Structure formats: structure tokens, C-alpha cells
Structure 1
Amino acid sequence: MQEKLIIQSVLSVGLLIVYSIAKFLTRRYTEKFATSRKFKKGRAADTAKIINSTFLIVSLIILGFIWNITFEGLAIYFASFFTVAGIALFASWSILSNITASAVLFFSFPHRIGSKIRIIDGDNTVEGSIVDMTLFSLHIEVEKKKIVFYPNNLAVQKPIMEIMD
């Protein structure tokens, strides 16, 4: 029994070390990526938080397996949690999709702040200059001092053209 406790403790410490290294490398890589693409530091920090949150959830699940946490006694709590989480996710699906789209745009979006773009969306086509890119939306200046907040999840789905002057 004592030997099993030592093994679990060593695995837990190892997992903590791996999680810390992954967190550090994620922040470093996103900052380096943001610098190379001339993005704002805030975008890099937001993207790193999204990725590190995923690492945390996976690490907690692995920790549960290391310590043989039985789910039989936790069934009522899990059922309650997933019911509330399901309702919350359904109510805020657009928020989650915008956050996910923000991470996708961070790594694959070829346009920068200052780029003139046209988002082709039928009757709702938007044309202007990107003034900011946040966790939830692109801020596009369509006229002097008139800004459209275009959701990230729609920006991922719609064709975007860069307008060359």
C-alpha cells in the first residue's frame, strides 16, 4: 500500500511539472507568434489562457485516474454538474464559439490591425479597416468614428477579402 502511495505521489508531481512546462511553453510560443505577426500582446495572452485552460482540464482528469477516484460516489454530483453545464453551454454557445474562433483567428488569420478588408455576408457585407481584434469580435471601422463589432465565429465562416489600395 505504501509503495502505491509513493508511485501516485511521484506521478502527481511529474504531472504537475509537465503541466507547468506546457503552460510556460504555450505562453512563450503564443507571445513569440504574436510578435512575429505584429499582434497585440493581449491577443496572445487570451489565446494562451484558452490553451492553458484545456491543459488544466486534461491534467485534472489524468490526476483523477492516477489517484483512482471512483466515479460511483460522485455520480450525483456529476449528473448535477453536467445538467447545469449543459444548460449554461446551450445558453452561451455563441460565447464559446467566439472564444474558440478567436484562437483559430489568432493562428490562421492573415490580416492584421490596420488591414482594409471586406467580409462578404450577403446583404450584411462589411467593408473597412480592422482597428482591434478581441476575444469575441473583430472591430472594423467602416466610416470615420463608426465601428462594427463583427463576431469572431462569423469571421471564421465567411469569406474575407483584403482590399489593396
Structure 2
Amino acid sequence: MEEFITAHKSELLSSLITFVLVLILKFGFTKAVRKVGKLGDFNQVRTNLIIKYISIALTMTSLAVLTLIWGVNFKDLGVLISSVFAVIGIAFFAQWSILSNVTAGVIIFFSYPFKIGNTIRIFDKEINDTPEPVKDIFVIEDIRAFHLHLRRNNGEMVTYPNSLILQKGVALISSFDDNSIDDNLQAEDATD
């Protein structure tokens, strides 16, 4: 054991520094995301989901750094990595919408002006297929990693993908609850 430690002193020290740096970054990013979540009054589940994404990214980055530190044979590693990326690439191509919805979920967490409980209008003809006069008004019930749960003013629950919420026009009407949607719409109609 002593021979291994003396022979690989620099690699062990670099590995220790990498682990400490990753822990510090994880702590810092976690604290920053929790602060953004608290300032934006975001749901705790959404905040924890973003923290999970950051942890996965830091883990993958630290594995890449440790591979460089320990001097793994790149020819053997190259074959392994190219095979893994080929399989992952095919899987992502087949499931590109899942990846785009997760990415959109992260973007919605950090930069969108609406949150759970807000009333929104989505300018999408595919979702507006009900015969009601104001059919494109929804209350945001929940924001998940892949989709939003929206409730129409007739009580119907709609699941809407995160990637579409970034692509379609969305108007923030108010932060009223379910019962005041009709009152808010009548007030809008009166001003028009």
C-alpha cells in the first residue's frame, strides 16, 4: 500500500483536490439555486429537480477530470466512449423530445415570469379545441421536469410539454386562483 501511495502521490493529491472542488461547487450551486427558488417563490420540488441536474453534471465532469488525472489509456478509453456515445446518441435521437422538455424545464425554472397558481393564456390552436368562449385560459397547477399541469376554467386538467411552452406565445393574465378566472376575464372584457 505504501508503494502505491508513493508511486501515485501526485495523482492522489490531484484527485483529492478534485473531490474537494466538486463538493465546494455542489454546495455553492445548491445554495444559489435554493436562493433563486426562494426569491422566485418556486415550488420546492422544482428547486430539488434543478439541484439534481447540477449534481449529475458535476459528477460527469469530475469523472472526466479524474480520467485525465489518472492517465487512462486514451485509445482504449476512446473505443469505450465512442461506443457509449453511439448508443446514447441513438437513444437521444429517438427520445429527443424528452431531452428538450428537461432542458425547457430548467429554462422555465430560471427565467420565466410565471409560477404555480398563475393564470395564463397559451396562443396554441392545438390546445384550444374546446367549445367554450374563453378556451385558452389556464391555471398552472404544477410545473414538472417534462411538462406543466394546467387546469382549464371548466376544471379539465391538461398536461402541456415544457418545450412547447417555450415555443408558443404565453400571456400572464394574473396570479388569481381557479375561482377568480371568470371574474378576471369579465373584468378584461369590460375594459375592451
If you compute each CA radius of gyration, which structure gives the higher value, 1 or 2? 2
Distance 1:138 1:16 in 2: 36
The Cα shift of 1:151 comes to 0.5
Query: One-letter code of the match for 1:103?
Result: V
Which of 63, 67, 78 is matched with 2:66 structurally?
Answer: 63
The Cα shift of 1:80 comes to 2.4
Distance 1:97 1:141 in 2: 23
Aligned to 1:11: 14
Aligned to 1:131: 141
The Cα shift of 1:33 comes to 1.4
Shifted more, 116-125 versus 56-65: the winner is 116-125
Kept after mapping to 2: 8 A contact 1:26/1:52: no
Distance 2:79 2:40 in 1: 48
Q: Does 1:30 align with 2:30?
A: no
Give the fraction of aligned pairs with identical amino acids, expressed as a percent.
33
Query: One-letter code of the match for 2:99?
Result: L
Aligned to 2:170: 160
Query: One-letter code of the match for 1:57?
Result: M
1:80-119 aligned within 5 A: 80-119=83-122
- RMSD, aligned CA: 1.9
Shifted more, 11-20 versus 124-133: the winner is 124-133
| Structure 2 unaligned residues grouped into runs of 5+ | 129-135, 175-183, 185-192
Shift >3 Å, 4+ stretches = 1-4, 122-126
Which of 145, 152, 155 is matched with 1:142 structurally?
Answer: 152
Which of 66, 74, 78 is matched with 2:77 structurally?
Answer: 74
Distance 1:79 1:18 in 2: 28
The Cα shift of 1:123 comes to 4.4
Distance 1:3 1:149 in 2: 59
| Structure 1 unaligned residues grouped into runs of 5+ | none
Query: One-letter code of the match for 1:83?
Result: A
Q: Please give the secondary structure, in 2, of the residue aligned with 1:57.
A: helix
Query: One-letter code of the match for 1:108?
Result: S
Query: Cα 1:123–1:135, aligned 2, differ >3 Å: closer, same or farther?
Result: closer
The Cα shift of 1:40 comes to 1.1
The Cα shift of 1:74 comes to 2.8
